[in-house]
Chain A
Amino acid sequence: MEKGKNQIWQAYQKEIADDNYYFARSCIRQNFFPAAEDLFLKIIGQELSRNIYDDARQTTCTGIAYHSGLLPFETTMTIVARQFALMNEAGYENFVCSCVTSFGIYTEVLETWKHFPEKEKEIRETLKRATGMSFEIPKNLVHASDLIFKFRKEIAEKAKYRLTNRQTGKPLKVVDHIGCHYAKIFPEKGIGGAEFPYVLAGLIDEWGGAQVDYPERRHCCGFGFRQYLLKSNRGYSLSNCKKKFDSMHPYQPDLIIANCPGCTFFLDRWQYVIAEMEGKTYGQNGYGIPVLTYEELAGLILGYNPWDMGLQLHQTDVLPFLDKLGVEYNPDEKYQSKQKRELKKTKLTNVL
């Protein structure tokens, strides 16, 4: 008999297809964590021997522009319909997206069509006129973190490291941050729902870490779409992240993980800004709290080289976490070319 939160999250479990996925990339993850999506494809394809297709013809879902109030809903729905048509043409039925905003957009569009079938008809006609394409609705729609959750036990079996401090042997304390559009819009579409989402907490539990429950655990990272995009409105984003950092700080987390690429980016970059502006850092010994994506954390425990995964491109230094985990790495290689090519130097920060 499951008790407490375990009982609650078990009420919110969803179907996640076992194989054969069509993969949709993220606007933000590609740019700011440029090795992460290929790492995800490698874990699913090579480590877990599943078939996953990476299509050159796919595009944005438009979510960032849509939620900034720029695009008509019909534009977004038709571009989503084109993505589904591409999936059909490639011979797939299971759609998996890298971006949480996209996951919200795809879910939103499908729910809209359920409630307003005339809208689906209209969009089918629009897509046909614009591109000549037609589509079938995916049989299964999930976020990429759902797949890592589904296969968390297999990953644990192959793992080289557990989420324990190699000096003390104690579980590492991990903050999980779930992107708002993963389950706040449609709680039944997220593992664990909106109140006790388990999609990342399940990874922490399975891989030997300890969850951190802090007051602002469910608060938004503060992307705000147009609020971040405009420099003159960007204080909104920083303020919301700071609220979270101040709330989690007393619990001394060793790591933050996020499933949304935007959240990962803001939780990483705003720590740098707070350190520069106020001299305040939230980790130990003057460092920040390292922030990783779910696939980066999976890659680390599987024993991948951190610099091959692009962890040197995080602005909040990941070294404190690598040391606690006991990962073997060469710090001299962090900013070097693997192929021994000459790289231009830049003045790197000394605040984190």
Chain B
Amino acid sequence: MKLLKKLQKDVRYIEGLKACINCGVCTAVCPAAQFCDYDPRIIVDTVQHGNEKEIEQLLKSDTIWYCGECLSCKTRCPRGNTPGYIIQALRSLSIETGLFMESKQGQKQLAIKRTVGEHILKYGYCVYIDEVDTEMYPEQGPVWDWLKKNRNQILEELGTSYKKEQSGTLRRISKESLDDLQRIFDETGATERFEKIEMLSAQKARELGIDFSEGKDPYFEYLYNGFQDQEEQINDID
């Protein structure tokens, strides 16, 4: 099926694209456009033209991965378009077609999968205190280090349910609930998507000669921290 036809089946694309008049208000208000190589007006204009080659280029590009999904564009568009929804549809299709591996920003989806994606199935939430440290998140600051070092005492005194299987803050989620999430992932294509990201990432890591296994392996570090150091090392080896 042609790429445009696939996009047109996505409810987010249908909702997101009415008729763009190229006024550029979305770009003017966009936080990503202010700091990244990202221009929602151009992206909307490109998909509106419906040229297969141009759409394929978008699916291979870094630019579709720079949107922050704040959806400020939805409020402002005078014609009821939502560039942020179009981005959601483009990102989904980029993963479905495997074209996300053609861009450095797309390749980083492995790091997203191995953090928030896996946390959902392990903890029931996207974020969990045990997975957050000041090496990965230095902006957490010394207060976070203090909390982490004393978390059993502090979280108990603050009345949380940390690691307890009961209602409350930071509780351990029951196996029954986690199994529900896993089955939903299996039924709705998330498991398949995770496997695809891992498989294609393994191929890319082999091409680059970077160790690949699971969790926070060298390839994860390469994606998470940025390419520069690793590429310099690769160049040095060459």
Residues of A within 8 A of B (CB): 25, 27-28, 30-31, 34-35, 37-38, 54-57, 59-60, 62-65, 67-75, 78-79, 82, 104, 112, 115-116, 119, 126-127, 129-131, 180-181, 184-185, 187, 194, 218-220, 222-227, 229-236, 238-240, 243, 269-270, 272-273, 308, 310, 312-315, 335, 337-339, 341, 343-349
Known contacts A59-B124, A112-B11; decide if A346 and B142 are in contact (CB<8 Å).
Answer: yes
Give the distance in Å from the alpha carbon of A348 to the alpha carbon of B166 in the complex. Answer: 33
User: Most chain-A CB neighbours within 10 Å: which of B12, B115, B158?
Assistant: B158
Inter-chain contact B31/A65, CB cutoff 8 Å: no
Inter-chain contact A38/B160, CB cutoff 8 Å: yes
Count contacts on B: residues with CB < 8 A to the other chain.
89
- Selected contact of A130 from candidates B35, B95, B168, B187, CB within 8 Å: B187
Q: Kindly state whether residue B233 has any CB partner on chain A within 8 Å.
A: no
Give the distance in Å from the alpha carbon of A239 to the alpha carbon of B11 in the complex. Answer: 32
Within residues 121 to 173 of chain B, which ones have a CB less than 8 A from any CB in chain A?
124-129, 132, 136-147, 149-150, 153-155, 157-160, 162, 165-171, 173
- Selected contact of A64 from candidates B66, B127, B166, CB within 8 Å: B127
Other A-B pairs beyond A31-B129, A349-B142, 6, CB < 8 Å: A30-B125, A56-B171, A72-B189, A79-B184, A348-B143, A349-B141
Inter-chain contact A65/B224, CB cutoff 8 Å: no
Inter-chain contact B127/A31, CB cutoff 8 Å: yes
Inter-chain contact B15/A70, CB cutoff 8 Å: no
Inter-chain contact B127/A222, CB cutoff 8 Å: no
Q: Kindly state whether residue B23 has any CB partner on chain A within 8 Å.
A: no
- Selected contact of A131 from candidates B125, B159, B184, CB within 8 Å: B184
Residues of chain A contacted by B15 (CB below 8 angstroms):
112, 115
| Chain A min CB distance to B208 (Å) | 16
Give the distance in Å from the alpha carbon of A38 to the alpha carbon of B65 in the complex. Answer: 36
Residues of chain A contacted by B177 (CB below 8 angstroms):
57, 59
Q: Kindly state whether residue B22 has any CB partner on chain A within 8 Å.
A: no
Residue pairs across A and B with Cβ atoms less than 8 A apart, 29 shown, are: A28-B127, A34-B170, A38-B160, A55-B167, A56-B165, A59-B124, A59-B177, A60-B120, A60-B125, A64-B127, A68-B116, A69-B95, A70-B116, A70-B117, A72-B193, A119-B11, A127-B184, A130-B184, A130-B188, A184-B70, A226-B112, A227-B32, A232-B225, A269-B139, A269-B141, A272-B141, A310-B158, A337-B157, A339-B157
Closest to B68 in A: A224
Closest to B165 in A: A56
| Chain A min CB distance to B151 (Å) | 9
Q: Kindly state whether residue B223 has any CB partner on chain A within 8 Å.
A: yes
Q: Kindly state whether residue B91 has any CB partner on chain A within 8 Å.
A: yes
Give the distance in Å from the alpha carbon of A315 to the alpha carbon of B113 in the complex. Answer: 28
* Pairs of residues from A and B, 3 with the lowest C-beta to C-beta distance, nearest first: A224-B68, A232-B226, A69-B91
Residues of B within 8 A of A (CB): 10-12, 15, 31-32, 34-36, 65-66, 68-72, 74-75, 87-88, 91-92, 95, 105, 108-109, 111-113, 115-117, 120, 124-129, 132, 136-147, 149-150, 153-155, 157-160, 162, 165-171, 173-174, 176-177, 180-181, 183-190, 193, 223-227
Inter-chain contact A346/B145, CB cutoff 8 Å: yes
Give the distance in Å from the alpha carbon of A34 to the alpha carbon of B153 in the complex. Answer: 13
| Chain A min CB distance to B168 (Å) | 7
User: Most chain-A CB neighbours within 10 Å: which of B136, B153, B169, B187?
Assistant: B169
- Selected contact of B143 from candidates A63, A131, A313, CB within 8 Å: A313
Residues of chain B contacted by A185 (CB below 8 angstroms):
71, 74-75
Give the distance in Å from the alpha carbon of A224 to the alpha carbon of B36 in the complex. Answer: 12
- Selected contact of A70 from candidates B112, B170, B184, B225, CB within 8 Å: B112
Give the distance in Å from the alpha carbon of A63 to the alpha carbon of B55 in the complex. Answer: 26
| Chain B min CB distance to A181 (Å) | 7
Give the distance in Å from the alpha carbon of A185 to the alpha carbon of B166 in the complex. Answer: 34
- Selected contact of B224 from candidates A116, A223, A231, CB within 8 Å: A231
Give the distance in Å from the alpha carbon of A269 to the alpha carbon of B141 in the complex. Answer: 7
Residues of chain A contacted by B125 (CB below 8 angstroms):
25, 27, 30, 59-60
| Chain B min CB distance to A328 (Å) | 20
Residues of chain B contacted by A68 (CB below 8 angstroms):
69, 109, 112, 116
